[in-house]
Amino acid sequence: MVVAKTQKMFDHLKSQFKNRLVQKSYIALVHGVFEKNNVVLDFDIAMGTDGKMAARPKVDEVNLKNVTSLQSGKKAHTDVHVLERFVRHTLVEAKPKTGRTHQIRVHLYAFNHPIVGDPVYLNKKVQHKKDKELQRLFLHSRTLAFTDVAGEVVSFEADIPQELTDFLESLT
């Protein structure tokens, strides 16, 4: 979270968020093991019929047969990098390039790797015994970087909370 002390800085930050210049990274533990080290998730995101956000898979080509089944959504882009693999989980760094509601959670869920402890975007076929042990979402905002009104880059980093570190150690 970032709070501006002046209106000038508020407007400057607002512009950076709007133009996608603010850099953010998150740490997440997900169910399943990623095959690749780097993945780009760029599914469009829209509100689902159940009130949850939903990722919309891309359709290769629009034609008369599928035009009625196309679903609307807003562009969303998340870069995901594997940090560590466990037997049934993967620790990843997620860098959202857009700022959609629940973007990281929705993208990872749509990619069939829901975040451990997520009570909303969960795959019911996956065993969630470990989720109950954690009792929270394993998603941590690690870094935030932007420029101040003087043009200097300002960067903040937060260590992973001890409860999440302890949970990771229980997986090894």
- Domain positions in the chain: 22-171
Confidence of residue 6 (pLDDT cuts 50, 70, 90): very high
Percent of the chain's residues with pLDDT above 90:
57
The beta strands (E) that lie in the chain are given as 23-31, 38-41, 44-47, 53-56, 78-85, 89-96, 139-147, 153-157
* 38-62 average pLDDT score: 70
What does the alpha-carbon distance between residue 55 and residue 170 come to, in Å, rounded to a whole number? 31
* 25-30 average pLDDT score: 96
Percent of the chain's residues with pLDDT above 70:
84
Give ∠ CA 55-60-65 in degrees, rounded to 5: 100
Q: Which CATH superfamily is domain 22-171 in?
A: Pseudouridine synthase (3.30.2350.10)
* 76-95 average pLDDT score: 95
Confidence of residue 63 (pLDDT cuts 50, 70, 90): very low
Q: State the pLDDT at residue 104.
A: 94
Q: State the pLDDT at residue 122.
A: 81
Strand partners, 25: 143
